Chains A and B, each alone.
Chain A
């Protein structure tokens, strides 16, 4: 301990609120520095101060200003003691008084600090630094400006100053601090100091701020300290090694052996530090540490400290899956520990280790599950939470455990702790299968009704995601599921509108059988005017509206839909959804008209065939014949001419105000529909009011229009397979550009609007394109869908990437040929329909279509970029683990596997020998300042030399020396960089486990 740091103490007047401080025998750290007082005015409290101390009063250069400051701010009677130069304590007290507001006070204080810190007197400087630390730590004030001053204080010979400087440095320095390089020598000096506290401070600091350069330059010092005979220093050196390894992997070659030696230390302090380091290292790359398993095993069996046991268990959790023999050996001690220990933390670690890494060992798992159950039923919410957590780990492999504890789980759903609720919800969802999905969902929906909004949505979200997993894998009864969706959307707190919307549409597209039920659910949602007021439901309503328009033929009463879609309260909807409402109303209207005039009027057989095949017939334009065979002809309210007239009136009434809408989409749709109504109205009114043959003549025209529009709307939509593109035969004469790299840049500048007013993805868009283009032809309205025009523009610019124009005409007007197989798969209206759907692994409909190149490009990006990122990560990790492997496996990794198994003891012996060798080496290394790392590097890049060494390990030192000579010519840094770029040799992975385990 530096005796120079003894400071004469002055008892500062204690804060009256703190009686404790006075009784406290230990002086406060602040009192180490109150050697300076600015001014001194008479104060009763200070009269008691011994006169001998008065000589210490010095006037600071900033006195006048701070004097006025003191006077003005601190005139309160309780602040009479603020006569000293402001120490940290004064600062804190001032902050607590809050006479002028915190911000103002702090900025004044900072101003002072900025001045004080420039002082040449180290005591003033360090006090200022200490104050700055306080403000930075608790009040988020930048202290980077003081970086250099901290270094200056660091050079002080006094320990108390040094302490402050190290404190400041570890709080504020980071990799990009400019003066970081200047600290190297200070650290080196302190690391080699004889004062163990100085060493400890500098190690502590190094563990916080070490970067590549510091780690490299100070490796020799850390290496020396690793075998220091002062335990206090050694354990710190061990702990700092982790950071050094991380920053400068080559240091592994120097320090690793000594680190391993510390594993054999029996001192619990050292052991706990070493085990901590290894558990961190093993997390990153467990395989490299397999050879150390015997040491860890010994620690596990012998350890008396729970903390160490926990860390060793963590290591084994990582190692065991890699080596079954090791797992065999370790599982018993772990179970023993689990039975015997009284510490819950250790018990839990055992349980977690068993369920993560020993899940094949039936008896161990049973024991662990027993313990988990104890946790689950415990009163303590912490244990309960951890029990659930452990259960969720087991769930992936042993689902039976979860169902065994079903009651507890269901009960936990109403726990006061949201974390426990969510954890148990996850577990309940893990139990869901196609057999119990209905019951579980029912229970959960009931819980959702009762619980708070947050958890309610958590429940709904997990039901939705579980049920839709793998294209609704677990759903058998879709009618049930669709009505569940309807039920969920009516739950008051439901905010999952978007997801429900997606699923409504997705199911509508994918599952034909469910459409009648879907329409029924949609109707229930649409006709309830109360729902329109809930903004969370708007997305669901938009799906319902879309469903009602798309599948109106299943409706019992389309007129009801019309009324629902055009009800006055729809004005509450956002414009984008309003547009969908209008579009759907259009579809429903066309359907009604079609039923009334075309089907009702024509004497052609209205075959009430329920076959869905007919939809496809519809998609082919088959002219006058029109076997408009709708599945559901059972419209309960027959559509008469009169009701049509009413309907048209209703449309006009509801939509005419929208012609002035500010939203283009709404306006346009309304105009479309009204235009259509105008067209039809004439005919319809005439036909109802005039003579038969007159109406027949006019009716023909109207019928024609209706039929055309109806045909346009009744084209089937289906999901598109991801592999659809592959099914398109490449036409003759089309040469595909081999290098499509430039495609990305071409497509990059065409940003198709991602948030279309059609929220339901691509296929429907396609449909609208076609319907609109039909309309355009028929009605000459000249309206172009946005995406069509964009597509056309794109096509014009990059015609190269398009199919020949004749073909593409087909694509834009008709359904893409690629979909045909999928559609046909859809058409079988039996139970195998869904099975086929899943078997074909149809992707969600949002997936790209070949006629729209941009999404495809995005997909390519994903494929390309991911592996690259992973690779980079690996290579960084590898530099550390590669070094570790080189050390641990040493020359052994070139022995053939068979020969090693013949040498039962060579492993350990060889290791011992290597220990000695490295020690010798490292001693040299201390002298020549870390050159050995580059030397060892050299070893490994020369296979020849390595083989040589294998033959005769005794000659090794000599060779090393030779190599050192040869390598010392090269600049060290350059080499280390070279090394980092070299691909790492991964030693053979098999049979690295020492033979004692066999």
Chain B
């Protein structure tokens, strides 16, 4: 399935966005997020961005106060996922203009929609910023 979940978590460990590509109950999600956040937020800049957790591999990257965490299968290409995270941030940046945590908080639905444009069923379907944003802009205009 490639990507299992995408999380955005702030420095305090609060989840700001959670997108799962397989069904987990709320309890499982809560536990998973807690474990991952504890594991990843404790790491520093000199440490690598890959953490093995349960049967996932977590690729994460920090942008200002926000951590982007992507849980992937074990044979997924870690560097490609890092690039994907960067693409996601760039896309949001282009849309919101100098994106920050608040943008994602207040436009959670839109952030989800962007992710949906990029990832489907756990595999990345779109990597062009223009292609990702054009339907969103269209819908914005129409609504």
Interface, chain A (partner B; CB < 8 A): 1-3, 5-7, 15, 17-18, 20-21, 23-24, 26-30, 32, 88-89, 92, 130, 133-134, 136-138, 140-142, 159-160, 163-164, 167, 174-175, 197, 200, 203-204, 207-208, 232, 235-236, 238-240, 242-243, 269, 272-273, 276-277, 280, 283, 305-307, 310, 314, 344-345, 348-349, 352, 381-382, 384-386, 416-420
B126 contacts which of A136, A138, A142, A269 (Cβ < 8 Å)? A269
- Which residues of chain A are near B80, meaning CB under 8 Å? 306-307, 310, 345, 349
B2 contacts which of A20, A203, A269, A280 (Cβ < 8 Å)? A280
Interface, chain B (partner A; CB < 8 A): 1-2, 14-18, 21, 23, 26, 29-30, 43-44, 46-52, 75, 77-80, 82-83, 95-98, 100, 102-103, 105-110, 112-113, 116, 120-121, 123-128, 131, 135, 137-140, 142-143
Query: A138–B47 contact, CB under 8 A?
Result: no
Query: B123–A242 contact, CB under 8 A?
Result: yes
Contacts known (A5-B143, A307-B80, A310-B77); A385 close to B48, Cβ less than 8 A? yes
Query: A276–B143 contact, CB under 8 A?
Result: no
- Which residues of chain A are near B2, meaning CB under 8 Å? 276, 280
B142 contacts which of A6, A88, A208, A277 (Cβ < 8 Å)? A6
Query: A164–B48 contact, CB under 8 A?
Result: no
CA distance A27 to B78 in the complex (A): 35
Please report whether the interface of chain B is mostly helix, strand, loop or mixed according to DSSP.
Answer: mixed
6 CB-based A-B contacts, threshold 8 Å: A5-B142, A18-B102, A20-B98, A167-B113, A269-B131, A283-B75
Contacts known (A240-B120, A310-B80, A344-B79); A164 close to B47, Cβ less than 8 A? no
Contacts known (A3-B142, A381-B48, A419-B48); A345 close to B123, Cβ less than 8 A? no
- Which residues of chain A are near B126, meaning CB under 8 Å? 235, 269, 272
CA distance A142 to B30 in the complex (A): 12
8 smallest CB-CB distances across A and B, nearest first, come from A345-B79, A276-B123, A417-B47, A239-B120, A381-B48, A207-B121, A385-B48, A1-B142
CA distance A324 to B137 in the complex (A): 50
B48 contacts which of A1, A204, A276, A384 (Cβ < 8 Å)? A384
Query: A235–B106 contact, CB under 8 A?
Result: no
- Which residues of chain A are near B138, meaning CB under 8 Å? 1, 197
Query: A163–B139 contact, CB under 8 A?
Result: yes
B18 contacts which of A137, A159, A307 (Cβ < 8 Å)? A137
- Which residues of chain B are near A208, meaning CB under 8 Å? 21, 121
- Which residues of chain B are near A130, meaning CB under 8 Å? 109
Question: Which B-chain residue is minimally distant from A166 (CB atoms)?
Answer: B116
Q: How far is the CB of A343 from chain B (nearest CB, A)?
A: 8
- Which residues of chain B are near A167, meaning CB under 8 Å? 109, 112-113
Query: A348–B79 contact, CB under 8 A?
Result: yes
Query: A-B pairs with CB below 8 Å: how many?
Result: 174
Query: A174–B23 contact, CB under 8 A?
Result: yes
Query: B127–A26 contact, CB under 8 A?
Result: no
Query: A1–B97 contact, CB under 8 A?
Result: no
Q: How far is the CB of B67 from chain A (nearest CB, A)?
A: 15
Contacts known (A1-B138, A32-B143, A283-B75); A277 close to B123, Cβ less than 8 A? yes
Give me 17 other A-B pairs in contact (C-beta within 8 A), A197-B139, A280-B2 excluded.
Answer: A7-B143, A15-B102, A26-B95, A29-B107, A92-B106, A137-B108, A167-B112, A204-B120, A273-B123, A277-B123, A280-B123, A306-B80, A307-B127, A345-B82, A382-B50, A419-B48, A419-B51
Query: A24–B97 contact, CB under 8 A?
Result: yes
Question: Which B-chain residue is minimally distant from A21 (CB atoms)?
Answer: B106
Question: Which B-chain residue is minimally distant from A273 (CB atoms)?
Answer: B125
CA distance A348 to B79 in the complex (A): 8
- Which residues of chain A are near B124, meaning CB under 8 Å? 272, 276, 307
Q: How far is the CB of B54 from chain A (nearest CB, A)?
A: 15
A272 contacts which of B16, B44, B50, B127 (Cβ < 8 Å)? B127
Q: How far is the CB of A133 from chain B (nearest CB, A)?
A: 7
CA distance A175 to B25 in the complex (A): 12
Contacts known (A1-B139, A416-B46, A419-B47); A29 close to B105, Cβ less than 8 A? no
Query: A160–B121 contact, CB under 8 A?
Result: no
CA distance A120 to B48 in the complex (A): 52
- Which residues of chain A are near B1, meaning CB under 8 Å? 280
- Which residues of chain B are near A137, meaning CB under 8 Å? 15, 17-18, 108
CA distance A385 to B82 in the complex (A): 14
- Which residues of chain A are near B131, meaning CB under 8 Å? 269
Query: A6–B120 contact, CB under 8 A?
Result: no
- Which residues of chain A are near B75, meaning CB under 8 Å? 283, 314
- Which residues of chain B are near A17, meaning CB under 8 Å? 102
- Which residues of chain A are near B107, meaning CB under 8 Å? 28-30
Q: How far is the CB of B65 from chain A (nearest CB, A)?
A: 14
Q: How far is the CB of A265 from chain B (nearest CB, A)?
A: 14
CA distance A420 to B138 in the complex (A): 46
Q: How far is the CB of A1 from chain B (nearest CB, A)?
A: 4
Query: A24–B105 contact, CB under 8 A?
Result: no
A386 contacts which of B14, B78, B116 (Cβ < 8 Å)? B78
- Which residues of chain A are near B142, meaning CB under 8 Å? 1-3, 5-6, 159
Query: A6–B78 contact, CB under 8 A?
Result: no
Question: Which A-chain residue is minimally distant from B98 (CB atoms)?
Answer: A20
- Which residues of chain B are near A280, meaning CB under 8 Å? 1-2, 123
CA distance A3 to B141 in the complex (A): 10
Query: A204–B102 contact, CB under 8 A?
Result: no
A381 contacts which of B26, B46, B77 (Cβ < 8 Å)? B46
Q: How far is the CB of B104 from chain A (nearest CB, A)?
A: 10
Query: B121–A239 contact, CB under 8 A?
Result: yes
Query: B103–A20 contact, CB under 8 A?
Result: yes
CA distance A132 to B10 in the complex (A): 21
Q: How far is the CB of B8 from chain A (nearest CB, A)?
A: 10
Q: How far is the CB of A41 from chain B (nearest CB, A)?
A: 24
Query: A272–B51 contact, CB under 8 A?
Result: no
CA distance A214 to B123 in the complex (A): 21
Query: B47–A232 contact, CB under 8 A?
Result: no
- Which residues of chain B are near A381, meaning CB under 8 Å? 46-49
- Which residues of chain B are near A416, meaning CB under 8 Å? 44, 46-47
Question: Which B-chain residue is minimally distant from A7 (CB atoms)?
Answer: B143
Q: How far is the CB of A247 from chain B (nearest CB, A)?
A: 11
CA distance A305 to B125 in the complex (A): 12
- Which residues of chain B are near A273, meaning CB under 8 Å? 120, 123, 125
- Which residues of chain B are near A160, meaning CB under 8 Å? 143
Query: B26–A142 contact, CB under 8 A?
Result: yes
- Which residues of chain B are near A382, meaning CB under 8 Å? 48-50, 78-79, 82
Question: Which B-chain residue is minimally distant from A93 (CB atoms)?
Answer: B106
Question: Which B-chain residue is minimally distant from A384 (CB atoms)?
Answer: B48
Query: A420–B18 contact, CB under 8 A?
Result: no
B135 contacts which of A136, A174, A197, A239 (Cβ < 8 Å)? A197
- Which residues of chain A are near B21, meaning CB under 8 Å? 208
Question: Which B-chain residue is minimally distant from A244 (CB atoms)?
Answer: B121
- Which residues of chain A are near B109, meaning CB under 8 Å? 29, 88, 130, 133, 163-164, 167
Query: B26–A140 contact, CB under 8 A?
Result: yes
- Which residues of chain B are near A384, meaning CB under 8 Å? 48
- Which residues of chain B are near A30, meaning CB under 8 Å? 106-107
Query: A240–B127 contact, CB under 8 A?
Result: no
Question: Which A-chain residue is minimally distant from B16 (CB atoms)?
Answer: A138
Q: Which of A174, A276, A349 has the most CB of B within 10 A?
A: A276
Query: A272–B47 contact, CB under 8 A?
Result: no
CA distance A269 to B118 in the complex (A): 11
Q: How far is the CB of A269 from chain B (nearest CB, A)?
A: 7
Query: A89–B106 contact, CB under 8 A?
Result: yes
CA distance A30 to B140 in the complex (A): 11
- Which residues of chain A are near B108, meaning CB under 8 Å? 88, 134, 137-138
Q: How far is the CB of B108 from chain A (nearest CB, A)?
A: 6
CA distance A419 to B47 in the complex (A): 8
Query: B48–A417 contact, CB under 8 A?
Result: yes
Q: How far is the CB of A350 from chain B (nearest CB, A)?
A: 11
CA distance A204 to B17 in the complex (A): 18
CA distance A276 to B95 in the complex (A): 27
Query: A159–B143 contact, CB under 8 A?
Result: yes
Query: B77–A418 contact, CB under 8 A?
Result: no
Q: How far is the CB of B74 from chain A (nearest CB, A)?
A: 10
